[in-house]
Structure 1
Amino acid sequence: MSATDPTPAGRSRVRRWLVRLAALLGLAVACTAGGVAATTLFPTSVGTLNYGATLRLSIAPTDASSIQSPTIFGDIRMRFAGPVPAPGVLAQVQVKERITELLSRPGVSVRDLEPGPLELEKAARDAAIAMGLRFAAGALVVGLVVLLGYAVWRRGDPARLRWGRAVGLVAGAWLVAGVATFGSIAVTYHPEQLESFRTTGILGTVQRNADLLAGVEERAEQTTPYLKNLLALSAALQEKYAPQALGRPVAARILFVSDVHGANQYPLMKTIIEQEDVDAVVDSGDLVNFGTASEGEAAGVFSGIRSLGVPYLFVRGNHDATSEADQALLDRLAKVPNVVLLQPNATTYQVESIAGLRIAGFNDPRWFGDDNRNNAAKQKPAAAAFVRAFGDRPSPDVLVSHEPAAVEDVDQHGGIRVNGHLHKAELEGNRVGVGTFTGGGPFSHFVAQGEDGAELTGQPSSFDIAAFGEDCRLASLTRYQFRNVIEGRPAYDDVTLVNGARIEAELPQTTVAGDKLKAPAQPRTCSATAPRSTERVTAPAN
């Protein structure tokens, strides 16, 4: 009789198979929990020449597909984007005693302390075997407990004991748990699956460069010996897991800022530009608070922008005008030599080419004093006008506007979309939401609900540095967050390196026009030596 037999006997057979399948899956989940518990109760210890680590697995949703190493100076967290979620790996790092003797020698460098690739390979292999054995034992204990419970349940009716079926079910669940757990680990924790590499606390403060590797040596020399060891381990882990794309030659580094709101922190911005070797700044709006050029003059932002020494690409935000037709702030910015207005007036756009990278954008049609209603709907005419003007041109590599809804309304191929406005860093698909560079000026607070009710909480300052490769595609995005400035430098709370391949979508193989921006020609080459150029685009008459 087949499983699809519509007779009562056939339906009964189907129900029995469904019950067995549910039991198998339930047991597999229980065995997985038991296996992970075993790795926590009996953690795995592995080591290299200078370092040791205690490892355990975690099935907490917040830890999924990530490797975490907490330290007293901050955390190292690598998040992966595998095809299926994998249990998290928690690693407690220890420094071996021999390090004390090494650090007493003159001229010891970070490179001298880093574990080599073969050491890391052996440590990873030993860890996988040891955790696998512990997981298998823990899952087996759960299976044996289930069999014992089954025997107790059936003790009153020995004739109904089905040991073969019960053992087969438990063995199948044990096997499914092991294969699913370590299969997901095997396909997830690969360099090409790396989504982000994040450091917090003092580690985030010290590891400041866009690739989190360059310049570590010089800064580590100024820190404690223990911090030097943590930096060495962090650098070695990133070199092990960072995709090759993150280490490829960089054609351009672009600093993304937004929502300055009249706070003249341009000396700080200049320091960042010099230390991070930035080629241009993209400001996605809200340069002032109340929409007037006189406010910018009083705050010194125009002279601050001029002092930067690199192109400053700008689109207007909703705080940068006093009415829909107000051009005063844009006209004043146009007099600053290094400023490029991506939309200097209602009918003209400018495409700026930096190292061959095409950057374009459009202004926010709103203004200070706007009724603040239906904001997303108000962006649609501006976005539609931009698409009409660029309909026969390739998509820009970087599209900029102030509000998220504005860039979301432009359906483009490839590249990234950049916005500000929300005063917080976001990342959704290829949309990069830039946080406020200065904390937001008088608009720097939001209401947070605490145990004692609502209170005002200060917003952190933040900015992003995008590194573009010689193929004109985003190689990496480094996100910085800070609250304090010490001796002219930010004291970073958080530094996160994001793999550009996880942000910028693959280019289509065919060109599409109409209501979408065209795909760029393939292939293209960008270069740090390519000359800078500006192209003016005029909106067609309606």
Structure 2
Amino acid sequence: MLACIGGGVAATTLFPSTVETINYRAQLRLSVSPEDVSSLHAPTIFGDINLDFNGPVMAPGVLAGVQVKPTITELLAQPKVSIKALQPGPLELSNAAKDAVVSMGGRFAVGSLLVAALVVGGYAVWRRRRPSVRVLGVAGTCWVLACGLTGVSIWQTYQPDRLDAFRTTGILGAVQRNADLLNGVETRAQQTTPYLKNLLALSAALQDKYTPQSLNEPVAARILLVSDIHGGQQYPLMKTIVKEENIDAVVDLGDLLNFGAVTEGDTVGLFKGIASLGVPYVFVRGNHDAQSAGDTRLLERLAKVPNVVLLQPDEKTYTELTVGGVRIAGFNDPRWFGDDNRNNAAKQVPARDAFKAAFADRPQPDLVVSHEPGAVKDIERADLLAHGHMHSNSLDGNIIGVGTFTGGGPFSHFLEGTDSEELTGQPSAFDIAVFGQDCQLTSLTRYQFRNVIEGRPAYDDVTLVNGSRIERPAKQDSAAATPTPTASASGSTAAPQPAPRTCSSLSGTSREQVPAVPSDAAQGTG
């Protein structure tokens, strides 16, 4: 009988049953592992769901591989979607349970019958004669008992009123224990805006009083630098910054999502938040913004938001955005959520070289952005470089490391390896880059704060960096250079210098498409 039970369980493992509700699909199989007895175990990338049942007898465990149907995106895109709308109804669950019983029962019966037949066949070969009626009867009885006892144990155990414990692990466990905090992230972000206004007003007053006169020159463009949103709907805060600081454009350095799924952004309203800003939202993809090397779903979704500017909308095209005369360019992170996380700097080299080849014969950009530090390293033809990824502010020469605007998003606020997994809140940050009429960076103001998700905002630091103190490479703007050479005292001829540029807030914004250079031609330019 035990052999028949093993054969039945093996059949459900080799040929799992598929059951469906309107929005979900699951593959079910049985387990004879002692750890899974009388429990339903559903592993996901967000953590595991475990339902323990207290039945009168032990029953085989059920392993469920749950999937979300693509059609759920239509529901998530609707206004005011509720969690209840995403949950299967009683009739759906009842029909799914019936389908599961019939499907798994049939597979179990066939698998256990096959084992019984093999045992009888093996016995006949060993005895070298046809099996007797008694042997067939014993085999048939074992098969019936295996199917009957297993079926009864499953039916008696997996009843709603016998659910003994509901346990989750990983991110799901953190969400379950802190649901009341996570449900109001956007609300708390809105409630925090008065505090942020006060901080910005204080910063402006201090700058007016203590900054050098050179920093008060006419402004051509004010750029808000943000990074690593990670699914945090704190766009009410960003909208406040845009309004209070007269921001001309927002530059997002990537990792808008956590797990590369566009449904994350639709569920919490990220795309609506971006659209509400009212200024160009410049974006390069980060390593959490795709689920495979060729996954472009986030870029395609962002392209539908009217104010979004994708600096690399696809592999064949770049976009250069000009804001008040200031030229901004950049490229996507080739990595994705779930890659092997090895040799990350080396993975950036092909993307960086392709960008350099495409912009080699163009006027030098004023700001080049990408997600990871290794991406912007060794880009010579740029006045300023910026990256995110590290979740912390940094300044190395002309390379600006931008911190995470949301403290890494809601999920990063959980302490790993602790019993309570209480919210802790890592620092959030943003930078405001101001460019003057000479198209140079006038000032970089860096803000750091914390505890927005917890509802008790605290502001840690405001730093003002004089743009003239930032080390810059020599201009290599060959496309805009005047052809007049300059003779030195030794009689040699110096390289032509770029023609002076003037930037102005009256220039507005414009976009120019830059085609990528074919790979063989790009290798030739290197």
Q: TM-score by structure 2 length?
A: 0.54
Give deviations 1:254-277, integer Å, cap 9, x for gaps: 000000001110111101110111
Match of 2:449, as an amino acid?
F
Distance 2:476 2:277 in 1: 39
Task: Give the conservation status (yes or no) of the 8 Å contact 1:395–1:520.
Answer: no
1:457 Cα deviation (Å)?
5.8
| Structure 2 alignment gaps of length 5 or more | 1-194, 417-421, 481-494, 521-526
**Aligned 1:493-508 pairs, distance under 5 A:** 493-505=460-472, 507-508=474-475
Task: Give the conservation status (yes or no) of the 8 Å contact 1:445–1:458.
Answer: yes
1:487 Cα deviation (Å)?
13
1:492 Cα deviation (Å)?
2.0
SS of match in other structure, 1:302: helix
Aligned to 2:381: 412
1:373 Cα deviation (Å)?
0.2
Task: Give the conservation status (yes or no) of the 8 Å contact 1:257–1:464.
Answer: yes
1:384 Cα deviation (Å)?
0.2
Give deviations 1:402-455, integer Å, cap 9, x for gaps: 001101132224x2101000001111111110000001125635989xxxxxx9
Aligned to 1:540: 517
Task: Give the conservation status (yes or no) of the 8 Å contact 2:381–2:475.
Answer: no
Aligned to 1:208: 200
Q: 1:444 to 1:480 in 2, by over 3 A?
A: same
Give deviations 1:295-327, integer Å, cap 9, x for gaps: 111111000000000000000000000000000
**Aligned 1:287-366 pairs, distance under 5 A:** 287-366=256-335
Distance 2:320 2:468 in 1: 24
Residue 440 (str. 1) matches residue 408 (str. 2): yes
SS of match in other structure, 1:208: helix
Task: Give the conservation status (yes or no) of the 8 Å contact 1:389–1:539.
Answer: yes
Q: 1:274 to 1:504 in 2, by over 3 A?
A: farther
Q: 1:252 to 1:393 in 2, by over 3 A?
A: same
Task: Give the conservation status (yes or no) of the 8 Å contact 2:325–2:507.
Answer: yes
Task: Give the conservation status (yes or no) of the 8 Å contact 2:431–2:447.
Answer: yes
Aligned to 1:388: 357
Task: Give the conservation status (yes or no) of the 8 Å contact 2:363–2:478.
Answer: no
**Aligned 1:177-216 pairs, distance under 5 A:** 206=198, 208=200, 212-213=203-204, 216=205
Residue 522 (str. 1) matches residue 499 (str. 2): yes
**Which structure is larger by alpha-carbon Rg, 1 or 2?**
2
Task: Give the conservation status (yes or no) of the 8 Å contact 1:426–1:433.
Answer: yes
Distance 1:294 1:272 in 2: 27
**Aligned 1:116-135 pairs, distance under 5 A:** none
Match of 1:208, as an amino acid?
L
Task: Give the conservation status (yes or no) of the 8 Å contact 1:209–1:276.
Answer: no
Task: Give the conservation status (yes or no) of the 8 Å contact 1:473–1:504.
Answer: no
Aligned to 1:79: none
Residue 467 (str. 1) matches residue 434 (str. 2): yes
Q: 1:488 to 1:358 in 2, by over 3 A?
A: farther
Q: 1:393 to 1:435 in 2, by over 3 A?
A: same
Aligned to 1:429: 397
SS of match in other structure, 1:481: strand
Q: 1:406 to 1:463 in 2, by over 3 A?
A: same
Q: Identity over the aligned pairs, expressed in percent?
A: 63
Distance 1:456 1:487 in 2: 7
1:250 Cα deviation (Å)?
0.8
Distance 1:508 1:532 in 2: 23
SS of match in other structure, 1:360: strand
Task: Give the conservation status (yes or no) of the 8 Å contact 1:356–1:472.
Answer: yes
1:491 Cα deviation (Å)?
4.0
SS of match in other structure, 1:262: coil
Moved over 3 A (4+): 203-207, 445-448, 455-458, 484-491, 506-513, 518-521
1:204 Cα deviation (Å)?
10
**Aligned 1:99-248 pairs, distance under 5 A:** 206=198, 208=200, 212-213=203-204, 216=205, 236=209, 238=210, 242-248=211-217
Q: 1:509 to 1:337 in 2, by over 3 A?
A: closer
Q: 1:432 to 1:528 in 2, by over 3 A?
A: same
Task: Give the conservation status (yes or no) of the 8 Å contact 2:223–2:249.
Answer: yes
1:507 Cα deviation (Å)?
3.9
Q: RMSD value over aligned CA atoms?
A: 3.2
Distance 2:262 2:497 in 1: 37
SS of match in other structure, 1:480: strand
